Amino acid sequence: MSGVKIIPIGQPRTVRERLLEALGDLLARQGFDGLSLETVAKAAGFERAVLLRHFQDLDDMVTAFGQSAAFWPPVSELRAEVVDRFAALPPRLQLSHFFKATIRGLLARPRTLDILAWELMSRNRYTRLLEYPRVRCALEFFESVTGEVPDSLDLTAVVAVLGGAAMFLTVRSRQSGVFGGLNLYDDEDRHRVDRVIDLIVGGILREADIR
């Protein structure tokens, strides 16, 4: 026997998911150096030709992984806790909810946090491909914000600063447990961060109103 796995006919989605799972595991363990179709196929237990039946190339595969809920929490997940009352919330609570829900979504994805840690040390086309779905998620979420948001508010900069802080804090909590005396895996510490996010977003909106 050659050791090559027989692909069940009529189950391409199952094989596709297994390939994406292998890619995610590989990125979390080893980062982006040496990433190739061959290394992913080997990690999944398939031949390279099997991978190419489901993805055009490695860029296509990384893009698909980045767009999957296994890597990044979708808008439906971010809004799940408040979906029935989201539209009734004031803008400051809608905005702050995004960052608080993102933190929770990332903490539930330790593999994603490991990949984000590798991103801090390596900048390449694959890290950029993984960024696009995150940007699109933020845009989709904020397009649904209702109420009066001041025109003077630089929402792009707000998302970059607070979103970056959320990712950094979650990565550090994953890597070292505690950062600045806070452990985001601890409920009380996470609630403290939630309260600060509410204060920051509220202050930003008040300042924008004054301008």
The alpha carbon dihedral of 167, 168, 170, 171 has a sign of positive
Whether residue 4 is contained in a domain is answered as: no
Count of the separate structural domains present in the chain: 2
Q: Can you tell me the mean pLDDT for 139-163?
A: 86
Which residues neighbour 88 within 8 Å (Cβ) at sequence distance 6 or greater? Answer: none
The tens digit of pLDDT for each residue in 98-135 reads 999 999 999 999 999 999 999 988 889 999 999 998 99
Domain end, chosen from 28, 48, 66, is at 66
Residue ranges making up the domain that contains 39 = 12-66
> Does a structural domain hold residue 3?
no
Are residue 147 and residue 55 in the same domain, yes or no?
no
Is residue 76's pLDDT more than 70?
Answer: yes
Burial 114-151 (b: 16+ CB within 10 A, else e): bbbbbbeeeeeebbebbeebbeebbeebbeebeeebbe
Confidence of residue 4 (pLDDT cuts 50, 70, 90): very low
59-133-116-20 Cα dihedral, nearest 10 degrees: -50
Give residue-wise pLDDT tens across range 25-60.
Answer: 999 999 999 999 999 999 999 999 999 999 999 999
pTM: 0.87
Position 7 in a domain: no
Where a domain ends, among 66, 83, 111? 66
Residue 136 in domain: yes
- Is residue 128 in a domain? yes
Residues 62 and 88 in one domain: no
Tokens 């959320």 sit at which residue?
A: 166
Residues 192 and 128 placed together within one structural domain of the fold: yes
In terms of domains, do 112 and 156 share one? Answer: yes
57 and 82 in a single domain? The answer is: no
The pLDDT of residue 66 is 96
Q: 179 in helix, strand or coil? A: strand
Rounded mean pLDDT of the chain?
89
The whole-number pLDDT of residue 211 equals 59
108 lies in the same domain as 166: yes
